[in-house]
Amino acid sequence: MAMNSESSVGLRTLALPMADENVVTRRPKAERATVRAVDPESAAAEAGVRVGDVLTHVNGQPVLDIVDFAFLTAGERVTLDVTRPGVGPVQFTIRKGYDEDLGIEFGDDLFDRVHICKNKCVFCFLYQQPKGLRPSLYIKDDDYRLSFLHGNYLTLTNMGEAEFQRVIDQRLSPLFVSVHATDPEVRGRMLGRKGPEPILPRLQMLADAKIQIHGQVVLCPGYNDGEVLEHTVRDLAALHPDADGPPGIGGGGGVLSVAVVPVGLTQFRDRLAALTTCAPDFCRNLVADVETWRKEYRRTLETNFVFLSDEFYLNAGAPIPPARQYEGFPQLEDGVGLVRLFLDDVQKVARRLPARLPRACTATLVTGELAAPLVQDFAQTLNRVDNLSVNVCAIHNTFFEGNISVAGLLTGRDMVAALRGMGDDLGQRVILPSIMLRDPDRDIFLDDMTLPEFETAVGREVCVVERMPSAAAKAIFN
């Protein structure tokens, strides 16, 4: 891909690595660019594209991923080259409206291979898993395309010059970046690198190219807390779009927000770096410090800028900020603001509750220990309804132990053991949040127990719902 001289010089001065087989892992050929569905009313269907066709080129160019596909098919005349099983190469020329979707759905977003992380972060959760889990749970992706498409965090350490240039040329924005520390020495130690690992020059380059960034700091007491954290936040705030002028006139590129999340530690840490959890007193001090910074940024940047994950507020016993302070919830998938959405949704459910049910109904809500008080309050709200009895089963994570207490990291077997122990209090049906099922294509838990196996073991109807209270209420009342 061609580069202009200004961008090329900026990239080369960073001494970026070139992509190689140590950076990526190949996917099976059968999974690459295979057409999974075709909209019957689309231009692709009219041209003759079929399910099972394997895309090889668009307008004569090889296609690496769904981003390339969208970029190359934006025009009014598109040529697709596919390989059709049992037939061989087939070419289609399609005429359509500018930016009209072709109506093709693929089996995967990445047609070539997922970029694998070469870092050995001291806090990496994948190193803290036992042996014997399914292979997909050990994949450490560090892929800018997954960051752009799905909000996965990447470190920028495994990107080559051509990849940075592609981000700039195709405006792959926003990106979600694992910063952890702006001090190169601290960041290098945290990422398990042999030397310093500076990030500010790369962030500055992306900001100059109008790429928006949401940063992440995994907070490890003794590594990147205290003055290191404050220094990191201030360095990143200097890259906010409005940092160089009055709020509201920034150019759009730069660091828009920073999420701070606590390190998660399991019982499987043999031969790993010694780390400590974020204790309640630590969390209380952090909440106070961060609120001081947020007040400053509200004044200078008209944004809170730095956002703590819900876990810090819960462990500190501190009030959850109101929804307006989350500014659209840009870091929701990092656990920033989920509790606020939950609490607000409970209020909506409470306003719509019936006075009574025509017949008796009993159910159990399943959650992790961290959210148990919130879910118990929700159950009390539901139990205002006559003829309704809702219990809560807060599951202790005996599989991972450590400080792992979120619902999304529970195993099927831990849940079955706890639910069986409830006896008749279990009720008629069990309500699970969908975050507990880890494979989007199969109803399967972390330990490979399937949903039908789980339902048989529990001996009750099991309803899987989205994580908001309104979804649970709908499952109970229906």
Query: What pTM was computed for the model?
Result: 0.85
Peptide bond before residue 135 is cis, with ω within 30 degrees of 0 = no
State which H helix or E strand residue 25 sits in: strand 24-26
Residue with tokens 């016993």: 317
Residue 113's identity, in one-letter code, is R
Specify whether the CB–CB gap between 84 and 52 falls below 8 A. Answer: yes
Please list the ranges in the chain whose pLDDT falls under 70: 1-32, 245-251, 439-442
For 43, 189, 218, 226, the CA distances from 122, given in Å and listed in that order, are 50, 8, 11, 18
For 204, 228, 238, 246, 327, the CA distances from 243, given in Å and listed in that order, are 12, 20, 5, 8, 18
The domains of the chain are located at: 28-111, 114-336, 343-477
User: Starting from the edge strand earliest in sequence, which strands make up the sheet with 88-95, in order?
Assistant: 61-62, 54-58, 77-84, 88-95
- CATH 3.20.20 is right for the domain spanning 114-336: yes
Structure tokens at 194: 């042999």
pLDDT for 31 equals 53
Interstrand relation of 429-433 and 461-465 (parallel, antiparallel or unpaired): parallel
pLDDT for 246 equals 56
Count the helix, strand and coil residues of the chain and give each as a percent rounded to the nearest 5: 35, 20, 45
Specify whether the CB–CB gap between 241 and 251 falls below 8 A. Answer: yes
Structure tokens at 179: 């910063």
User: With helix as H, strand as E and coil as C, how does 395-454 read?
Assistant: ECCCCCCCCCCCHHHCCHHHHHHHHHCCHHHHCCEEEEEHHHCCCCCCCECCCCCEHHHH
For 283, 386, 451, the CA distances from 476, given in Å and listed in that order, are 36, 13, 19
φ/ψ of 216, rounded to 5, equals -135, 140
Please state the separation of Cα 141 from the chain's center in Å: 12
Homologous superfamily (CATH) for 28-111 = PDZ domain (2.30.42.10)
Interstrand relation of 54-58 and 35-38 (parallel, antiparallel or unpaired): unpaired
**For residue 14, what is the DSSP state?**
T
pLDDT for 5 equals 30
- Alpha helix (H) ranges present in 170-271? 184-190, 200-208, 226-237
pLDDT for 272 equals 80
Specify whether the CB–CB gap between 335 and 366 falls below 8 A. Answer: no
Residue with tokens 């994948």: 126
Pick the CATH number of 343-477 from 1.10.1060, 1.10.530, 1.10.3470, 3.40.50: 3.40.50
Cα distance between residue 123 and residue 216, in whole Å: 13
Residue 443's identity, in one-letter code, is D
